Amino acid sequence: MDAIITADQLASAAAGDGPPTLLDIRWQHGRPSGRPEYEAGHLPGAVYVDLDTELAGAPGETGRHPLPDIAAFGAAMRRAGVSRDREVVVYDGGLGWAAARAWWLLRWTGHPAVRVLDGGLAAWTRGGGSLTKEIPPVAEGDFVPEPGARPILLDADGAAALARRGLLLDARAGERYRGEVEPIDRVAGHIPGAVSAPTSENAAEDGRFHPAAVLSRRFAELGATADTEVGVYCGSGVSAAQQVLALAVAGIPAALYIGSWSEWTADEKRPVATGPQPG
């Protein structure tokens, strides 16, 4: 199954027999919950899921958005109506970061059919799709998460090892990678051996992903080939999920270091590189 779905494809699927479960994952770093935006207008039938409380654990030494408690995550997904035998489509406000986080978690915990709405809410409305303020009734789902499926999860040691033997991509902005600024985390710079690959280069101005062939060329230029083992990190494992999704669109499997830079820098003993080169 494709990792993304267009607005037109979603409209057709939603109107057919057995429509997908829709999850609204609107979120932005440093801002309150996206629920008010959801309540002001969302795709018909969509259920709001909060990234900070339902798709992540409490911040701490394992990062700003560590893995959620798996049992709590499963309960949240069932409350949202997620069932194993029904496709799930997730969307956000357009960047694709939050939706990709939900996509990654559901795929990693074994859901067989999850796609991200390409371009998010903006793509839906631009294509003539309607919004509603109606909060839909939700039938309890039956999804039970079983961690360990693909895509792969990395810890700090795994990310460091992958940077040496394969390709570890840093999905943050270039100036954060180079160590010129660090607006959020304790230390500026990057994991030694990691290659800069900002998520902003994965999508067009309208928020939709570049075509698979374009993404394939981009990642090939960064060193990703059919034989390369690839991993991705960011600040806290959210925007990196969008990069893993972009790699999936390009046909390249990739692992996610979910603790990312916020976990890496929590331990003062871990090395830090700066400058434009992997180091």
The residues annotated as belonging to the active site are 234
Measured CA to CA, the distance from residue 260 to residue 113 in angstroms comes to 26
Burial track 167-206 (b if 16+ CB lie within 10 A, e otherwise): bbbbbbbeebbbbeebeebeebbbbbbbbbbbbeebbeee
Report the alpha-carbon distance of residue 32 to residue 34 in Å, rounded.
6
Amino acid at 169: L
Whose CA is closest to 224, among 162, 143, 148, 154?
162
For residue 234 the two structure tokens come to 């960011």
Task: Tell me the DSSP string of 115-163.
Answer: EEETTHHHHHHHTT---B-PPPP---------S--SSPEE-HHHHHHHH
How far, in Å, CA of 165 to CA of 168, rounded?
Answer: 9
